[in-house]
Chain A
Amino acid sequence: MTTTRSAPQSTRSTPRHRGRGAPSTSGGGTAFAGTGTLVRFMLRRDRIKLPAWVCGLGLFVVYIGAALPQIAPTEDDLAAASPMLSQPIGRMFSGPAYGMTPPTYESFFAGGYTLYLYLLAALMNILLITRHTRLEEQSGRAELVRANVTGRHSRLTAALVVAGITNLAATVVVAGLALTNDFSPTGSLLVGAGVGLTGMAFAGVSAITAQLSEYSRSASGLAGIVLGVAFGVRALGDMAEQGGSTLSWFSPLAWPGQTAPYVLDRWWPLLLPVALAVVTIAVAFALQDRRDLGAGLLAARPGRAEATPSLGTVWGLAARLQRGPVLAWGFGILVLGVVDGLFTQVMLDSAGEMPEALRQVFGAEQLADGYMSFLAVFGGYLTAAFIVYAVQSLKSEEDSGRAEAVLATPTARVTWGLSHVVATGVGAVLIMLVTGLAVGAAASGVTGTGSIFGDAFLAHLNVLPAVLVTLGVCTLAYGCAPRLLAPVGWALVAVMFFVGNFAALLDVPDWIFRLSPLDYPAQVPVEDIAWRPLLWLALVALAGVVLGLVGLRRRQISARS
């Protein structure tokens, strides 16, 4: 673009103008040619997905609006429930807890639940951007499109425009539906704008991660790590102080909450996500200028000419393929666990803010126990998410045709499936064990209480069978109905997450609790270990794996079905 001034003119005169193509080149340089067409094409491809996401966000608002008066028929009842949000562990998972003295329905909505709207909006944008940029490049479809009259930046621009349209729709829907709950206009608009702008900021973040890696899974994984870290930093920052501490301000997920909707109603914190979006998008375009289509920014090095003996079996292959994900996820989960563990003392200190009634229920030691049991559940659903991710590699092996090549050797289908299931299971166990040890070490180090070490480790061991139920469910889905693997697996993780953090704050029916495997084990170390539920969970996990492998043996392996 910088080298010649005349180039755009000459190229513009050569293609035959067909009327409809013309507006897309009007944006200036040829690097953006065809953006309009791509936007329409992406919107068409996502005509179900994106409206479903936006409707999901809207339903969430409607549900909370309807559920709150059910849990707490008067605002006095609400005040009695508010310590759940305002005590430190509550703040970790719901936000800075503005407007809790005394709470109103709208401030309870903002303080307790909107964080998850922001989180979902970020997730929606990560998936959207990666799907339309890196996944297309990885599959080679982008090459086909680029060979037509589209520019270097058209695809990313179009994806960001689609993200912008979706985020705008989300803003309008969320704000509008909050208004129908009889919440006040300014606060509702702030919540809506928070959703849209947080979404846009994460669209920018994933625009960068899409430049870094050649694989869409690592691109979305990297953006997911950023989101996870943002959640963790905000959790610790908000836990340290009501209204958030300095640490909170380092997390993009804390910014929309700092507008304090319905309480302080301030707009200026939203400048931060705007700035983040602008900067990240600018960086993404700059990075894109420096790389070739289909390439990442990290150059490939040559490797071994011969396989090590360990790579001689399907087991070795599965271990090799799962090694990367285990290390990456394990590292992330470990870091989050250690940081949370290091905050144990802060949490205990800030327990002073807790209402007298709650403190009597817990007592200082009990509070530490409750926190350890909580961290085990936290590590549990993150590890469950790893399992869903890892089992999906079976499906991508099959879809890419690599499974076909392996199964054309004397390798039984069951052995092949089992090798990946075992590699995933071993990875999950290792992640939980190491995290348990590290959380225990961190917590006992900062509190100076040796017994916390054992408690934390035991708490992590205790949830392990429940975590492995995810592996059973995913294997079953993959073996019998591979298309259902992703939806069923992620839905299970979502339920575990929802029940673990969140269901107690809402008056959800018992059966929803029962959907989460993590709800069955005893709350070690608050309660004593209970063996019976653990045995059952292990059996369910095993049954899922066995049935899934039976299903795999009976069904056909079809590449690209």
Chain B
Amino acid sequence: MNSTSSPVIETSDLVKTFGSTRALDGLDLSVAQGEVHGFLGPNGAGKSTTIRVLLGLLRADEGAARLFGADPWDDAVSLHHRLAYVPGDVELWPNLTGGEAIDLFARLRGTLDTKRRSELCDRFDLDPTKKARTYSKGNRQKVALIAALASPVDLLLLDEPTAGLDPLMELVFQECIREAQQAGATVLLSSHILAQVEVLADRISIVRSGRVVETGSLDDLRHMTRTTIVARTDRPAEGMQSLTGVHDITSGDGEVRLEVDGEHVGPVITRLAEHGIQSITAHPPTLEQLLVSHYGHEPEPEEVAR
């Protein structure tokens, strides 16, 4: 129906204020058909607000938002046939069971695929006969996830969907998202759980104070950060600081620890080899570092360079 070239989600210059708080301050976001898009940002950055605008629950003060080319406020009902949403803070009806809540959501969205539903309950290890008030936080989250994944949709809007899940369940979640992607769904995945986004996302947008400050593929963004290298050498590794792109050297006990800009890793390894490497570990840039370089009070790489 939809030409693959036009983005599934597109916002331009979105502004949303709550009294004096500017929750969104000119947010530009674009999510292409079929991609898993990581939506990263610190607390209060405006992730949930963006998703609520996309759901047509909030009305943007300025700017435009399009979902499948339609207006999320005016065409909310028809758009919601094509999407599923998992809120960050899952609240269920205390006296309904988890199973009832899942079925309700699936039926509200369209048809209920009971086979898929029970398969998901098994995979997520959820007991659907419990009343919602007796579920733990993670189990409430599972109910919302199963409800969202049980029906085939074109778009998944997931607001910190695994905040309460244990690591095993997190793996199941990742599998499910990959399956959904293979089935052609587009996914917007908001999180501060960086590892999760790293594993799943094709592209990421980093939002801060209501603006997208960086967007691109993980590789694009990695160019902006540094690899951490920890090496144990036969002879003390000296003179490393003279190499271009090397920062934050600490050494002692025959071990040297340094950070190097992504494109200058080669010469550093060569130089270390001259000192006789006993052991070496290299961490690729984590998204923590990405976030720190954008939100933290760390100085810019250029400033450290001398």
Contacts and interface: CB of A to CB of B under 8 A. Distances in A.
Nearest to B51: A408
A302 B131 contact: yes
B225 interface: no
Interface in B109-130: 109-110, 112, 114, 128-130
A305 B99 contact: yes
Contacts of B59: 556
B295 interface: no
B93 A402 contact: yes
A400 interface: yes
A417 to B, nearest CB: 14
Contact of B52 (A305, A313, A317, A404): A404
A321 B131 contact: no
A410 B77 contact: yes
Given A311-B103, A401-B89, A405-B105, A300 B134 contact: yes
Interface string A386-413: 0000000000000011101111111111
A303 B97 contact: yes
A549 to B, nearest CB: 15
B269 interface: no
Interface string A68-94: 000000000000000000000000000
Contact of A410 (B80, B87, B89, B133): B80
Contact of A307 (B57, B78, B85, B104): B104
A199 B35 CA distance: 62
A17 interface: no
Interface size range on B against A: 35 or more
Contact of B99 (A215, A306, A402): A306
A2 B114 CA distance: 53
A302 B130 contact: yes
A405 B128 contact: no
A409 B78 CA distance: 9
Given A402-B93, A405-B85, A313 B129 contact: no
B89 A324 contact: no
Contact of B100 (A307, A314, A401): A307
A321 B93 contact: yes
Contacts of A320: 96
A405 B91 contact: yes
B156 to A, nearest CB: 11
Contacts of B105: 405-406, 409
B9 interface: no
Contacts of A307: 99-104, 107
Contact of B104 (A300, A317, A401, A407): A317
Nearest to A402: B91
Contacts of B109: 409-410
User: Which of A215, A301, A410, A558 is most buried by chain B, counting CB atoms within 10 A of its CB?
Assistant: A410
Interface string A285-308: 000000000000000111111110
Contacts of B131: 300-303
A103 B146 CA distance: 71
Contact of A215 (B91, B94, B102, B112): B94
Contact of A407 (B57, B78, B84, B101): B57
Contacts of A300: 130-131, 133-134
B273 to A, nearest CB: 53
B108 interface: yes
B58 A306 contact: no
A557 interface: yes
Nearest to A401: B91
A278 B84 CA distance: 54
Interface in A307-327: 307, 311-314, 316-317, 320-321, 324
Contacts of A400: 91
User: Which of A304, A306, A400, A557 is most buried by chain B, counting CB atoms within 10 A of its CB?
Assistant: A306
Nearest to A323: B95
B76 A412 contact: yes
A308 to B, nearest CB: 8
Given A302-B130, A305-B128, A407 B99 contact: no
Contacts of A317: 104
B97 A312 contact: no
A328 to B, nearest CB: 13
Contacts of A302: 97, 129-131
Given A311-B103, A409-B109, A558 B58 contact: yes
A293 B226 CA distance: 48
B67 interface: no
A285 B84 CA distance: 46
A372 B191 CA distance: 63
Contact of B129 (A304, A314, A557): A304
A214 B133 contact: yes
Contact of A401 (B87, B108, B112, B114): B87
A410 B108 contact: yes
Nearest to B147: A405
Interface in B57-89: 57-59, 76-78, 80-81, 83-85, 87, 89
Contacts of B157: 408
B221 interface: no
B92 interface: yes
A303 B87 contact: no
B202 to A, nearest CB: 24
A324 B157 CA distance: 33
Contact of A304 (B80, B94, B97): B97
Given A405-B87, A412-B77, A304 B95 contact: no
Contacts of B99: 303-307
Nearest to A215: B94
Interface string A169-203: 00000000000000000000000000000000000
B146 to A, nearest CB: 12
Contacts of B107: 307, 311-313
A313 B108 CA distance: 6
B55 interface: yes
A404 B129 contact: no
B77 A404 contact: no
Contacts of B129: 302-305
B17 to A, nearest CB: 12
B144 interface: yes
Contacts of B84: 408
A313 B95 CA distance: 17
Contacts of B144: 405
A312 B77 contact: no
B42 to A, nearest CB: 20
Nearest to B108: A409
A306 B85 contact: no
A222 to B, nearest CB: 16
A324 B95 contact: yes
Nearest to B121: A305
A12 B57 CA distance: 51
Interface in B197-218: none
Interface string B157-186: 100000000000000000000000000000
Nearest to A415: B77
Contacts of A316: 104
User: Which of B58, B76, B91, B102 is most buried by chain A, counting CB atoms within 10 A of its CB?
Assistant: B91
A321 B100 CA distance: 13
B80 A409 contact: yes
Shortest 4 CB-CB contacts between residues of A and residues of B:
A307-B103, A312-B107, A408-B85, A409-B108
9 contacts: A302-B131, A306-B99, A311-B96, A311-B103, A312-B104, A406-B108, A409-B80, A410-B80, A558-B57
Given A214-B94, A304-B99, 14 more contacts: A300-B130, A303-B99, A305-B128, A307-B100, A312-B104, A317-B104, A324-B95, A400-B91, A401-B90, A405-B91, A407-B55, A409-B80, A409-B108, A409-B109
